[in-house]
Each structure stands twice: as structure tokens, then as C-alpha cells.
Amino acid sequence: MPNVILVWFDMRILVFNWRCWLNPFGGGAERFTYEVFSRLVRRGCSVTWFTSRFPGCLDEEVVDGVRLIRAGGRFTVYSEARKYYIKYFKDGFDIIIDEINTKPFMTVDFVRDTPIAALIHQLAREFWSYEMFFPLSVIGRYFLEDRWLRKYCSIPTITVSESTKCDLEDLGFREIYVVSEGLNIKPLGELPEKEEKPTIIFLGRLKRVKQPEHALKAFKHVKEEIPDARLWIIGDGPLRKRLERRAFNGVRFFGRVSEEEKINLLRRAHVLVFPGVREGWGLTVIEAASQGTPTVAYDVPGLRDSVRHMETGLLTPANDVERLAENLIKILRNSELRIAFSKRALAYSRLFNWDNTADQVFNILKSVSDSSDG
């Protein structure tokens, strides 16, 4: 008789997410999921992550203890998830995470005997008009998204900001848990030396919802008041060529950079500009804060959570480029204000830790799983 090795896991977790953190188009939500669930593996959980394929990927692999299974593409991963669950996954897990990036996996329709928890970083809302063509942009914004999400009103739901919690409450969600974001970058012990010339940094994917063109327009106003100011644009994306054609003296495009160079650039800049449409949280804000760099951002969901107005930076009415420029000028010109913001931003960044976030998520999932057993 062969030896039988019994492996005990604290929880067997299945994550459905349309992308994984290794996907070239993965974003902050995927980074959050990786940081949290790779830590849960280290504390004794079994984690399987079902996701879509991308060029050059493996259909199955284990990375940092997380078992990755890939099938389907951006739009077909949802139907593949349902087929895989029914054929291979049924009854093999203690809890299922339906991570909702605009469209849910509709686990509420095919999972019967296993508890489900939703993970929602942000609602799409304005994203529909920025990223989709008419008429799908209108159908999605005013019909599909709400219809999809209302199926989850009774499902325990994890999110990362009070802004998203309020959006979900407006839809009728009843059991919402807000957990903190973490931080990979070690905050500095003291404020660093900044660039000799006033320097603004934009960090993010160059696509419409991030509104990098607003950073460029605002910088034009800044240059009129502060001729030696500079704008560093870090990141790549579909808008890069258009932005480069519109660039002028003082603007520099770095493209995608290494983590080490990103931290170095954040440390040397005087202020981060973040004119996005909406965010789940705005992790870049805290990354900049860890290097003693305050933020000027639009007052939109997510960013109004990560930026403490008049403490770690300034919030500006959404899409008001002139006010955005005014606030950038205020910080660049007023060294006393900038240093005060920088010190408070640095202190604020020390509150964020992925281990703490993983503990919060584990306790929520354990509670949901235990309640189901009871």
C-alpha cells in the first residue's frame, strides 16, 4: 500500500480574476491580490488563481506558492471559469473569491455549496465612457454594471476604500468590509534631497482614464509661472505617441522603468500629479508619500481616500485643469507648505503594510467560511 501524505490547509481558496499580476496589462487590483494571497499561502492556505491567458504565458504554473490556471482571453475568461469550476473545481475549496473588475464572474449563478466573497476595488462608472465605444459605453454605464452588481448585494464583499463602500451601499450591498492597502516600498527615515529645479512627476499607464493629457495641460500653465519647472512622465500606453507630439520644453518621457528607478524618480520629484477619472485607492499616492513626495490629485473616488487634503497633498475639483495647475504652483512655490506636506505624507505612508492587509483579509474570509459551515 503506497504511503499517503495528508496536507492540512488553513483554507482552500479559489480566486477568479480576469488577469493575474504577471499579465502585462495587470494593474493595481492584481498587485493587491498577489500581495495578499501569496502571503496567505505562506501562512498555510492553499490558493488557486483562475485567470485569462496572455501572449507567452503558461496555461498552468505555480508562482510564489499560488497555483495559476489560465484559460480564455479578456472576454472569454468568464465562460471558461464557469466550465472549469463545474468540471474540475466543484467541492474542492472552502471559499471562492469573485474579483470584480467591471464584470463579475457570475459565481452566484453556478456555485452552490461553497461560500463566495466578492472583491471589488472600484466601480467602473465613468470608465465606460472613457474606454468603450458608443452605444456599449451607455449600456454598460447605465444598465449592465448595476444589473450585474445587484446580484451580489447579499454576498460578503471586500473593498479598499470608503468611496467604493459608499458606491456599493447605494446599490444595496449589505455586508461590506474595507481593508487597508499595503506598501512594497520601505518609507524613508527622513525627507530626501529633491531636484534642484521644480519637478512634477506623473506615474501611471498612459491611457484615457488616467488622463495624462490633463497633467500636460496643467504643466503648460505651471511653466508660465515657473519657467524652469519640469514634468516627468513615467509609464507607457496607447496615448504615449500622441502625448509626445504635444510635449514641449521641460517635459520628459521615461516610459516603463524598473522598480528601483521608479522609487528613485519619486524620491527626487517635488510633487506627484494624479488627474485620474477614479481609482480603487491610488497606491501610487502612497508610494510617492513613502519618498517624501506629496500629491495633487482630482477629488474623485479613491484619490479622495488616499490623499489627505491639506495634510499630505491637495485635492482639486475633477477635470478642472486650471485649478490643478494652481495647486501644483502653490506647492512648488511655497517651500514651507511643501515640506509640511512632505513630512506628513512620509509619516502617513508608514501606516501601510501588506502583512496587516493579508491578516485583515484572512480574518474576513475565515469568518465567512466558518459562518457558512455553521
pLDDT of residue 10: 84
Pair (247, 275) in one structural domain: yes
pLDDT of residue 2: 39
pLDDT of residue 141: 79
Pair (260, 281) in one structural domain: yes
How much is the CA Rg of the chain, to the nearest whole Å?
Answer: 22
Pair (80, 108) in one structural domain: yes
Pair (146, 275) in one structural domain: no
Pair (336, 358) in one structural domain: no
Pair (281, 147) in one structural domain: no
Residue 189 lies in a domain: no
Residue 139 lies in a domain: yes
pLDDT of residue 150: 95
**Domain CATH code at residue 308:** 3.40.50.2000
Residue 291 lies in a domain: yes
pLDDT of residue 374: 54
265 vs 257: CA distance, rounded Å: 10
Q: Which residue has the cell 529645479?
A: 197
Residue 48 lies in a domain: yes
Residue 191 lies in a domain: no
Pair (25, 162) in one structural domain: yes
pLDDT of residue 4: 40
Pair (151, 99) in one structural domain: yes
Per-block average pLDDT, block size 10, for the chain (374 residues)? 48 96 92 97 96 97 98 96 91 93 95 96 85 78 89 97 96 97 95 98 96 98 98 97 96 97 98 96 96 98 97 98 98 97 98 96 94 68
Task: Determine phi and psi for 26, rounding to 5 degrees.
Answer: -65, 150
Pair (345, 357) in one structural domain: no
Residue 178 lies in a domain: yes
pLDDT of residue 8: 52
Residue 188 lies in a domain: no
User: What are the distances in angstroms from CA 115 to CA 83, 118, 148, 188?
Assistant: 18, 10, 19, 41
Pair (264, 178) in one structural domain: no
Pair (230, 128) in one structural domain: no
Number of structural domains in the chain: 2
pTM given for the model? 0.91
Residue 245 lies in a domain: yes
CB 223 within 8 A of CB 250: yes
Range of the domain at 234: 199-349
pLDDT of residue 139: 85
Pair (177, 220) in one structural domain: no
